[in-house]
Structure 1
């Protein structure tokens, strides 16, 4: 599939005629909103006949909360190998805590579409935030671990899960080895029951990287313990951080350069963000808070405010600025250009595939481009 970048004077009908595709197909693929205005600098995916060339087979994973729109899930599942249901928690004593709403309907939908349902385990405290004291309490307590593993196996068998994803963040440095042992034991127990085990890794660029996000994660040991890993290669630009690309390509590459020295590439899933941020300016740390937006929504914001979309060649990411209510804003998001660059990394490094955080918003052009670039493995 081709990508076209809108210039002044363009309209849907003219672009459709130029490329010989129905305007309805262009509108559908790019989720254009009536009356189908375009933003200067907007990247459009030009739908074409399916790619018949030989392509790599990859695994595609997507995280979703249990309150995802059934329609969005239905539209997305054909492009997924795995659906990670977010999420189950646990108490300090190792008692499993289910998500606040039913997850069985998602498991059944995934099965119908040939996608593997995966139970995501997270150490969320009562405030809904990652709690490293909760991690410490369980990974260092044999009785709590035993209780948690038994309950996980029971729920996975009863509900029909096919895998376990361990997403623990902000692990204390002193718990690093205990956490690795926890993952190794989980993999041994679950593999014996026919379940795969994955672990999410903060985006490190060196073994001795400082910081609470990184010190508790031993890339080499966790890569050996788990069946595969997800690199969380996003959130450089984040809700409370400075205005910048969410997943700048130059930073993603640095993480991959390090990761493949510790973990075999065939075990690595590249994390891809399915969202963007809108920052009010000027940025002031501790005060400024960005708004999370979808990629389709970002383009609509540009159209409404007459903003021209730019593309940063280093970050390989689209962005724009606009004014509203006397306040300047800056938006960074993903489009088919930035995604094409990330897909190229999967091939370049020989990775297992990609994992999306998260699939709550439909970005159809992404899925069409992914399926045109790779064969997506199904069960």
Structure 2
């Protein structure tokens, strides 16, 4: 596994020769549209190297024991961590370990199926890197009855054929946005909650799903206990079907907060089979230009989350998109990570990397000044390392219609994605 950051004057041929990897392989793995490059561009080089694992030192650890765990040698660990004093391991210290044992974890991809048939072609190409697929095609009305906003035609059946577990994803989505009033109305009524529960369970079984994914956002804080009751009753109704719940990210519990207040992590984590914390949109649409998911923030969210939720039931989140923001107005345009990368190349602007956030960004001028924050292979690797360090169940990816070739190429070569 290798990551190469382009410097001024480099080209694909010289990079290809340096790593012994064909230009065509580098182009495909990185979604490049031409041979043109730009300084600061991070390229994933699909070389046949050992994977590198991340490990947080625990009490009574020794390098010999760690090496045995990861099927490597003390000498290999010392080469990868040159500043390491083997006689002075510190609890909480992070080591990077070359290993033939790949990191195993689960992945959950989300899709809004605006075009089901086109998505099925994409799904086939990434099927080995997915454990679950949540189909965000469903909402509910003010009496709690679920209805399809978009067609999921063929997706559950094809998912099962490809060894992917399909989940029916329901959202309180109305009029192009998440509707807090809708959530409050339904969750606050025992009759309407029962309607939502029975219609979700019936529809999931009818359409061939193996579970339900809940994405109810901006729940009024006063409905916190009602949401817990809804989830408890829903899990009972679903029986052996999976209940997966998505919650906004937080680093502490603030029950009165309008965004995170209704999410009782401890109770939700005890009820749901899988809980996914949305460690994305730190830099949000309409807000100032900031990283999508800075590493320091993601780690803070995970550290809090695992005090409330069993890490083996917990998924963090990764974004397959970036935000292009006009400075001053903060007018925001979303674009895939591939498009964000290739836009920088087309414009000929250098890509910078924020070492604190572990996130790439660049600036360009078009009438007004623009700042683009996105994710690349460097930021993805750092996030995947958190799965290893904190022993999480895995990660979610929003959303699969956004091309992210670097991530898929990395997962294919360096990870073992668990299948159910």
TM-score (norm 2): 0.85
The answer to whether 1:149 aligns with 2:149 is no
- Aligned match of 2:378 in 315, 322, 337? 337
Aligned-partner Cα distance in 2 for 1:7–1:65: 38
Deviation at 1:320, TM superposition (A): 0.7
Per-residue CA deviation, residues 347-376 of structure 1 (Å, 9 max, x unaligned), is 111100000111111211101212333210
Aligned-partner Cα distance in 1 for 2:255–2:144: 30
Matching of residues 263-342 of structure 1 within 5 Å: 263-282=309-328, 284=329, 288-324=330-366, 326-342=367-383
Deviation at 1:67, TM superposition (A): 2.0
SS in 1 for 2:191: helix
2:275 corresponds in structure 1 to: 229
Per-residue CA deviation, residues 58-101 of structure 1 (Å, 9 max, x unaligned), is 1101100112533333222221000100131111112111122x
Deviation at 1:129, TM superposition (A): 1.4
1:41 corresponds in structure 2 to: 40
Unaligned runs of 5+ in 2: 52-99
Aligned-partner Cα distance in 2 for 1:124–1:197: 19
The answer to whether 1:159 aligns with 2:211 is no
- Aligned match of 1:116 in 154, 157, 165? 165
Unaligned runs of 5+ in 1: none
Asked whether the 8 Å contact 1:343–1:370 carries over to 2, the reply is no
Asked whether the 8 Å contact 2:221–2:261 carries over to 1, the reply is yes
1:98 corresponds in structure 2 to: 148
SS in 1 for 2:178: coil
Aligned-partner Cα distance in 2 for 1:374–1:307: 32
RMSD (Å) for aligned C-alpha atoms: 1.5
Per-residue CA deviation, residues 193-251 of structure 1 (Å, 9 max, x unaligned), is x2110111111110126531111111111111111100100111121111010101111
1:368 corresponds in structure 2 to: 409
SS in 1 for 2:263: coil
Asked whether the 8 Å contact 1:57–1:374 carries over to 2, the reply is yes
SS in 2 for 1:48: coil
SS in 2 for 1:340: helix
Aligned-partner Cα distance in 2 for 1:210–1:217: 10
What is the aligned residue count?
A: 369
Asked whether the 8 Å contact 1:246–1:333 carries over to 2, the reply is yes
TM-score (norm 1): 0.94
Q: Which has the larger radius of gyration?
A: 2
